[in-house]
Structure 1
Amino acid sequence: MEFTSRYSRQIRFAPIGKHGQELLSQKKVVIVGMGALGTVLANHMVRAGVGYVRIIDRDFVEESNLQRQMLYDEEDARQHLPKAMAAVAKLQAINSSVRMEGIIADVHAGNAESLLSDADVILDGSDNFQIRYIINDVAVKHGIPWVYGGAVSSRGMFAVIRPQITPCFRCIFPHAPVGRGETCDTVGVIGPLVHVIASYQATEAIKLLVGATAQLNTHLEQIDLWQNDCDFLPIAEGKNPTCPACGKKEFEYLNLHGKESEEFVTLCGRDTVQISPTQPRSVDFSTLSKRLSVLGLVEQNRFLLRFHVDNCTLVFFEDGRVLVQGTHDITTARTLYAKYVGH
């Protein structure tokens, strides 16, 4: 591949060089979550010339995202565009030579392997431990390196996970935190922190993609920008031989298939309940709009349909997912879903 002046400054950086740039152009990166971290990660991967970038997100753009989610603008929020689609539109204008795929979906046990297992590197832009344990199971099972990242308030952390070489995520975090914990929706987050953590993640990803494994960070690094504090937790020797994931190869997070036809999950701090079908299904927006428009206000674009009723908003996606906004109570969400959608 012949490179133009687009990557000249990156090629002049000796640890990458022309050979490294050629390697980047042949690689595939999957980014899970296109919120604050994900938008920075995607921006770096596309600008760096990674050959194929797949971005996955279950949500749509809202005004409150604009303070820190760098790829979106006010028009995206007005149109309630899915983040994956809005991000791809921006990224294609940034670098049309990169192949991009935007997927509107929630990563779960039923689809994780099909979405993640063909990646050279997986990047974590998610906001909860459940998805990270799923990412970890796929990564360990298929031998794919991934880069964990988290950011809330003024504090963030990141780590590089290399299956069979480093401890896996479950070695480092054997159990998910009890309760909801702090989230950006409950205690806030400052924009600069997001860029710092995601830029560290992106740098580690580029090292992995060009084969610079000797330079990889071997710590769980924690940063507090407001308090000017940085801690390094050594994890290289923390591999657990009895770890369910990398030790026993049990991959229990890939086997969490619900027995009911739908799964109900409260989105932390969002006053929203997500309802996901356990089996694939598709939604005909035209038919749904006709049925619901006699019951309440319906707004629609080509990616989702919003139905306003009973002081709540039901947001329908083509894959059958529904967000019930205006409540964090699963019983209330179940009632509204049964009333207006059925089973």
Structure 2
Amino acid sequence: MLFARIGAAGQARLAAARVLVVGVGATGGAIAHALARAGVGLTLVDRDFPERHNLQRQTLLDDADVDAGIPKAVAAAARLRAIDPDLAVAAHATDVHAGNILALAAGHDVIVDGTDNFATRFVVNDAAVKLGIPWVYCGAIAATGATMTIEAGGKPCLRCLYPEPPPPGAVDTCDTVGVLYPAVAVVAGIAALEVMKLIVGAEPRNRGLLHVDVWEHIYQPFDVAARADCATCGRHVFPAFEARDGGDVLATALCGRDAVHVRPAGRGDAAAAVDLPGIARRLAASAHVVQTSAHLVRFEADGLTVTLFADGRAIVGGTDDPAAARSAYARWIGN
């Protein structure tokens, strides 16, 4: 690499590194794209599938992926391999939660945030600090973006900035105010560069919160102090791992969508894959099956569109009510 601050030695470190990208939608996809162009090995994790209405914000997904019913992580990995056949890239079409994050993160040099929700970010934060892995927080909304680099020592960490996840309705979402791709591109580029700096050991790094407003041309850093009473990096309590689900089906409304993600409790990543062809045949008698693939079955029933994945998760479209989504899951797929 000709850029002197990275150089040949830094390029070798980039090529040898492995980065976990949590979420590969607009922001995560842009970060993964930038890192892949630098030759960084990647593991992509995303629970979702691509939809036409948000392809304008995607750099690694296209219309053919929608038609084929390919999960975002799998489609994005295929696109990156097409760009660089020698790139080390793996994909997991799964939800990231307290029950699997430690296994997903193990063996990685850096974790980077491409999600759209604080619940997952707090799980990533606690796991990264617990494992001693640096990570980069990144998010975009409307014309703004924010990013923060959390060092391997974890001080300060995301929980120093936000002691608790913002309550529902306290922050804007892409469903209420939208998001401009230029904001995504700018903050994702900064986050990707922070990942590269962590890998090669370069300074300066963004250890505070950096806020960017591309509409108003604002680029504003904020200092973040490590809190001695921080549950994660101060007291090492790691609250995300105390909040593991019990016997209930977990349902979460998705940002920017009239849809709910449903994850059956007790089904870890090691659970056997569900019988998608068998379920499709069973559903055909009472519901309208609109798409089947090796990765999913999509069907319509009761005014809802349900996408069932091979690991038992589902996305229930046509409602933003978690209770209604859980009910639909129980009725059509079972408990």
The interval holding the TM-score normalised by the smaller chain is over 0.9
2:188 to 198, 203, 206: 198
The SS at the match of 2:236 is coil
**Alignment of 1:316 onto 2:308:** yes
In structure 1, the partner of 2:281 is 290
Aligned residues: 329
SS of equivalent residue, structure 1 residue 215: coil
Provide the secondary structure at the position in 1 that maps to 2:70: coil
List, as ranges, runs of 4+ consecutive aligned residues in structure 1 with deviation greater than 4 Å: none
1:117 to 67, 92, 106: 106
- Could you tell me how far 1:274 is from its partner in structure 2? 1.5
Question: Could you tell me how far apart the structure 1 residues matched to 2:185 and 2:278 are?
Answer: 42
Q: Are residue 189 (structure 1) and residue 175 (structure 2) matched?
A: no
- Following the alignment from structure 2 to structure 1, what is the Cα–Cα distance between the partners of residues 176 and 69? 22
- What are the superposed Cα offsets for residues 165-209 of structure 1, whole Å, 9 maximum, x if unpaired? 630110011122222331122211111111100000011110111
* Superposition pairs of residues 218-257 of structure 1, within 5 angstroms: 218-235=207-224, 238-257=225-244
CA distance in 2, matches of 1:198, 1:192: 10
Which shows bigger deviation, 41-50 or 328-337? 328-337
Shift of 1:218: 3.1
Q: 2:116 aligns with which of 119, 127, 143?
A: 127
Shift of 1:288: 0.3
Tell me if the contact between 1:155 and 1:223 (Cα under 8 Å) persists in the aligned partners.
yes
Residues 32 and 55 of structure 1 are in contact (CA less than 8 Å); yes or no, is this contact kept in structure 2? yes
User: Can you give the 5+ residue segments of structure 1 that lack an aligned partner in the other structure?
Assistant: 1-10
- Give matches, 1:22-61, under 5 Å: 22-50=12-40, 52-61=41-50
Q: Distance in 1 between matches of 2:154 and 2:98?
A: 24
Identity %: 40
Q: Deviations over 1:290-309 (max 9, x none)?
A: 10011122111111110111
1:265 corresponds, among 249, 252, 255, to 252
TM-score normalized by the length of structure 2: 0.95
User: Is this contact kept in 2: 1:117–1:138, CA < 8 A?
Assistant: no
Mark the CA change 1:319 to 1:327 in structure 2 (over 3 Å): closer, same or farther: same
Deviations 1:97-140 (A, max 9, x none): 11110100110011110111321000100001111100011110
- State the 1:261 CA deviation: 4.5
Aligned to 1:241, what secondary structure does the other structure show? coil
C-alpha RMSD over aligned residues = 1.3
Shift of 1:226: 0.9
Q: Which residue of 2 aligns with 1:89?
A: 78
Residues 134, 154 of structure 2: 8 Å contact kept: no
Contact persistence 2:129–2:154 (CA under 8 A):
no
| 1:276 corresponds to which of 256, 259, 263 | 263
Give 2:281's aligned amino acid: K
Cα distance in 1 for partners of 2:235, 2:154 equals: 15
CA distance, structure 1, for counterparts of residue 227 and residue 326 of structure 2: 40
Are the counterparts in 2 of residues 262 and 276 from structure 1 also a CA contact under 8 Å?
yes
Aligned to 1:176: 165
